[in-house]
Structure 1
C-alpha cells in the first residue's frame, strides 16, 4: 500500500512527539544544578538543561559549515547553468570534460 504525504507527515509528527517526550523526561530527571561557564558567562543550570543546550549548540556548529557548503555548491551550479552555450562544461575538477562517461550510483 502506497503512503500519502499526509500519512508520512503523521508518522513524522508522532515520532517527533515521542522524542520531545523523552527529552522532557530526561530534563526533569536530571534537575541537579551545575555551574556552567561559556565564553565568560557563568550560570547555574540543571544538568539536563545544560546537556540539552550543549547538544543544540553542537548541532548548530555542524550545521553552519554544512549550510555554507550547500550555498557554495548552489552558486557553482548557477554559474554552470549560465555558462556560454556550446562551450564544454567544466568537469568535477573545474577543467573541461574529456568525453569520459561518468555514472552515478
Structure 2
C-alpha cells in the first residue's frame, strides 16, 4: 500500500518560480537576483546619461534669483531632472507621513 506524501510548504519550487537547469533542478528567483538586474539597468541608464551629457557640452547661461552660471546643456538638463525627482520624493514622503498618522489615529 502506498501513501501519497504531502510536501511541506516551500520544499519544492512551483513551476513558475524559476527556470530549469540541465539536471532538472529549478533555480529560484531571489531578491538578490532582482537587485542585480536593477543594478545592471541603472548602470546602463547611467551610461546613456553620460553619453547625453558628453554630446551636449554647449554652454547655457543660467540665472537663478541673483546667481548666474554658465553650465553645459547636458548638465543643466540632468540637474533639472534631479531637482524634479527630489521635489516628487518630498511630496510623496509627506503624503506617506500623513497616511501613517491617519492609520495610527484609526488603530
Q: Deviations over 1:56-96 (max 9, x none)?
A: 11112222221111101001111212xxxxxxxxxxxxxxx
Relative to total residues, which structure has the larger strand share, 1 or 2? Answer: 2
Structure-1 residue corresponding to 2:62: 36
Which residues of structure 1 form unaligned runs of 5+? 82-105
* Structural RMSD (CA): 1.1
For normalisation by structure 1, the TM-score amounts to 0.72
Distance, in Å, in 2 between the alignment partners of 1:63 and 1:38 is 22
User: Shift of the alpha carbon at 1:39?
Assistant: 2.5
Q: Does 1:76 align with 2:105?
A: no
Query: Runs of 4 or more off by more than 6 Å in structure 1?
Result: none
For normalisation by structure 2, the TM-score amounts to 0.71
Which residues of structure 2 form unaligned runs of 5+? 1-17, 19-27
Which moves more between the two structures, 23-32 or 55-64? 55-64
Q: Does 1:56 align with 2:87?
A: no
Mapping for residues 1-105 of structure 1, pairs under 5 Å: 1=18, 2-81=28-107
Task: Determine helix, strand or coil for the equivalent of 1:50.
Answer: helix
